[in-house]
Amino acid sequence: MYQADVNTTPMVKICSVTKIYPNGTRALLDVDLKVRRGEFLFITGASGSGKSTLLKLLYREELPTKGYVVVDDCDLVKLRGDAISLFRRQVGIVFQDYKLIPQRTVAENVNIVLQAQGYTRKEIRRRLEPTLKLVGLLSKANKFPKHLSGGEQQRVSIARAIVSTPQLILADEPMGNLDLDNSWQIIQILQKLNSFGATVIITTHDENLVRRCNHRVVEVNNGKIRLQQ
Ligand SMILES: Nc1ncnc2c1ncn2[C@@H]1O[C@H](COP(=O)(O)OP(=O)(O)OP(=O)(O)O)[C@@H](O)[C@H]1O
């Protein structure tokens, strides 16, 4: 599915980034961060510390007020128009609130990404089954989101994020609405994808979960990176 990349240039480079929202809120101040290809990174910090803003800069949802953001050799500050959607196709994004389409089945929610990207029906079929299998939802392909538990819905959203095999997976509080067992399942799926070569960056409040895993942790505090371990 994924290919480990031996290239040693960082997958993500955030250099001297300050983000001030139009209403004057300063979300990030002079942040520097590099993430290696194939790394699994946790971003922790209190509510409002700037974690989501940091992630939004990485999928070009927001632009920095100062500094630059490079993902996979692409300078995101310079991206315009269609180049932004083309870039986002190479990034798998997982949100806390799943963002599934209620009127579509599990399979349709996942396929929609590939359809939008012009994949053939044959290719869509080829990708769907292993992806649903990986997140443990093959037997629920024809169910609608309202018939799934929160953990299952989050696994559909992961399937949707990874079905086009992006090299970078960004997950913003993916366990935010889940209990410990379901959170652990999500982490294990993301770790598996990481073992296949994907770079994974997760924001979380959950210090216990972070402690259970042996990955680099970056703590954001009041818009600054306070601690890297
Ligand atoms: N679109 C926006 N406009 C104005 N201010 C914003 C916007 N988005 C976030 N902020 C502010 O920027 C700061 C950082 O917010 P951010 O969402 O990045 O924090 P967070 O660490 O992800 O918080 P949480 O854990 O609660 O999701 C906060 O003060 C927040 O109120």
Chain segment 48-104, per-residue pLDDT in tens: 999 999 999 999 999 999 999 999 999 999 999 999 989 999 999 999 989 999 999
Report if residue 109 sits inside a domain: yes
Residue 52 Cβ contacting ligand 1 at under 6 Å: yes
pLDDT of residue 6: 47
Nearest CA to ligand 1 atom 24: 47
pLDDT of residue 3: 52
Report if residue 225 sits inside a domain: no
Angle subtended at Cα 98 by Cα 115 and Cα 49, rounded to the nearest 5 degrees: 125
Report if residue 7 sits inside a domain: no
pLDDT, average across residues 15-30: 98
Domain of residue 130: give its range: 98-165
Report if residue 161 sits inside a domain: yes
Structure tokens at 21: 């929202």
Give the residues across from 74 on adjacent strands.
71
Q: Could you please report the per-residue DSSP string of 93-156?
A: EEETT----TTS-HHHHHHHHHHHTT--HHHHHHHHHHHHHHTT-GGGTT--GGGS-HHHHHHH
Give the pLDDT confidence of 90-143 residue by residue, as tens digits: 999 999 989 999 999 999 999 999 999 899 999 999 999 999 999 999 999 999
Report if residue 30 sits inside a domain: no
Query: Which H helix or E strand runs over 53?
Result: helix 51-58
Whether the predicted pLDDT of 15 surpasses 90: yes
Report if residue 159 sits inside a domain: yes
- Kindly state the percentage of the chain with pLDDT values over 70: 95
Nearest CA to ligand 1 atom 8: 53
Q: Give distance in angstroms: CA of 47 to centre of ligand 1.
A: 8
Report if residue 59 sits inside a domain: no
Nearest CA to ligand 1 atom 25: 47
pLDDT averaged over the chain?
92
Positive or negative: CA dihedral 221, 226, 228, 229: negative
Residue appearing with tokens 């995101």: 76
Confidence of residue 228 (pLDDT cuts 50, 70, 90): low
Report if residue 24 sits inside a domain: no
Residue 53 Cβ contacting ligand 1 at under 6 Å: yes
Q: Record the pTM.
A: 0.93
Give the pLDDT confidence of 183-203 residue by residue, as tens digits: 999 999 999 999 999 999 999
Query: What is the total count of domains within the chain?
Result: 1
